[in-house]
């Protein structure tokens, strides 16, 4: 297994871990390491709650949404992104990607809405998907009040968040829902089958590995038919007519090959796809080692592509 030499010291310091073995403990640890979600001199942050109607006879519930906007903004409506956090479908919340959302808003002059979607195993599929789709609909419905331009609407996320991005984009196409201009899929987990070479090869207990990928999908699906609905984007038969996409892939990741295959299928279906494969780094490398050159280059590249894709003026 090749590892980027600059990542090696980080790798050597990592403990062996299985976050899915103690979900409550992992949630507490992640919360402690996350952002605080407070406004600062560059970014206004507001937490909102919206009522979401139940689907197929289920009871309705309240969905939390975090809205980020730049402190310094003109009179024109802003481009807007719905940013979906990762965490294997079982961990995290808007705080988990607070730093990313804050950075994009400050650098690009856009608005971001981050849904606090329901987590598995307490809420299996389709709960998270339904919440993220509801967040997309809310942004469009409230565009005037939010002062955002839904002609410049994007979806973004990493890991399981990227899987939900792909699922929501597929549903929006099928339902003739909101028009989405751009997708950012950061090291996405897209396929529960784990039949690729990378899924078999990446088993290191210090890294996100095959065991972790399988556990996340098991918690999320809980007996649901993975080929039905929008549970598993990698199983989708028809990838035509989807938004332009940027896919960031890690070289040492059980999800590497399924992401590469998804990119190839998107392109073959006639979509605009930009692919960046970063060799020698694992899942979430930019979080684990933000200072190494591979991380700085990758983050700069996808941020530039995102700015262009969403139509940001900065």
Residues annotated as catalytic are 159, 253, 283
Nearest to 187 by CA among 174, 177, 202, 173: 202
Q: Is the backbone peptide bond immediately before 236 cis, with ω within 30 degrees of 0?
A: no
Torsion-angle region of 56 (φ positive above 0: left; ψ -120 to 50: alpha; else: beta):
left
- Give 311's Cβ-side CA count (13 Å radius): 16
The enclosing H or E element of 39 equals: none
The enclosing H or E element of 280 equals: strand 273-282
- Burial group, residue 64, by CB count within 10 angstroms (0-12, 13-18, 19+): middle
The SS3 call for residue 203 is: coil
- Give 109's Cβ-side CA count (13 Å radius): 12
Whole-angstrom Cα distance, residue 139 to residue 147? 10
* CA 292-295-299 angle, 5° bins: 145
The enclosing H or E element of 82 equals: strand 78-84
């Amino acid at each position: 297994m090749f590892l980027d030499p600059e990542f090696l010291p980080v790798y050597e310091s990592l403990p062996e871990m299985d976050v899915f073995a103690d979900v409550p403990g992992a949630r507490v640890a992640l919360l402690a390491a996350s952002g605080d979600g407070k406004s600062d001199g560059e970014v206004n942050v507001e937490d909102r709650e919206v009522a979401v109607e139940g689907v197929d006879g289920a009871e309705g519930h309240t969905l939390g949404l975090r809205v980020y906007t730049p402190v310094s903004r003109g009179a024109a409506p802003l481009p807007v992104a719905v940013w979906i956090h990762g965490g294997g479908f079982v961990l995290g919340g808007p705080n988990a990607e607070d730093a990313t959302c804050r950075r994009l808003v400050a650098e690009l002059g856009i608005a971001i809405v981050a849904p606090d979607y329901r987590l598995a195993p307490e809420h299996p599929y389709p709960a998270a998907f339904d919440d993220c789709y509801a967040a997309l609909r809310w942004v469009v419905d409230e565009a005037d009040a939010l002062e955002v331009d839904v002609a410049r609407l994007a979806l973004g996320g990493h890991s399981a968040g990227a899987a939900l991005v792909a699922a929501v984009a597929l549903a929006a196409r099928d339902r003739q829902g909101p028009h989405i201009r751009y997708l950012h899929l950061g090291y996405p987990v897209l396929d529960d089958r784990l039949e690729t070479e990378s899924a078999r090869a990446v088993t290191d207990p210090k890294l996100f590995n095959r065991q972790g990928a399988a556990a996340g999908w098991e918690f999320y699906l809980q007996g649901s038919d993975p080929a039905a609905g929008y549970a598993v984007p990698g199983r989708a038969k028809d990838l035509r007519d989807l938004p332009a996409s940027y896919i960031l892939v890690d070289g040492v990741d059980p999800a590497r090959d399924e992401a590469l295959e998804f990119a190839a299928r998107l392109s073959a279906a006639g979509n605009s796809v930009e692919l960046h494969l970063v060799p020698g780094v694992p899942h979430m490398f930019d979080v684990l080692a933000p200072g190494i050159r591979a991380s700085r280059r990758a983050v700069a590249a996808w941020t530039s592509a995102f700015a262009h894709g969403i139509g940001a003026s900065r």
